[in-house]
Amino acid sequence: MPLRLVPPAKPSPKQAVIERIKKAPRPDGMIQCARCGGRTLMTTVNGAFVKNGRKQGGTVIEKDVCYHCHQLGIRSLMLPELKPV
Ligand SMILES: [Zn+2]
């Protein structure tokens, strides 16, 4: 059976909205989720203390993860993980 190219499917209404949001103009350098287009990022810290009225210490569990994707159980990094060479 010969292989044939399949034209891309028309996006669902939800996917069309996501694509429109992702293409919306934004200030230069603003961080945006590549998956859902959200602009809310979060960092979670475990085991922090309050000392002299200030938050101190703790272990960073998740850093710069999309908040909206995290609510759906998806871990979507909004910044690339740059590791030293
Ligand atoms: Zn997202």
pLDDT tens digits for range 73-82: 999 999 877 7
d(CA 67, CA 47) in angstroms, rounded, equals 20
Measure 65 CA to ligand 1 centroid, in angstroms. 8
Measure 48 CA to ligand 1 centroid, in angstroms. 26
- For 40, residues 6+ apart whose C-beta sits below 8 A from its C-beta are 66, 67, 68
Measure 60 CA to ligand 1 centroid, in angstroms. 20
Task: Show me where the domains of the chain are located.
Answer: 34-85
d(CA 43, CA 71) in angstroms, rounded, equals 13
Structure confidence by residue, pLDDT tens digits, 13-44: 998 998 898 898 989 989 999 999 999 999 99
Structure confidence by residue, pLDDT tens digits, 42-70: 999 999 999 999 999 999 999 999 999 99
| Between residues 30 and 84, the one the model is more confident about | 30
Burial class (CB in 10 A: 0-12, 13-18, 19+), 62: middle
Reported residue count of the chain is 85
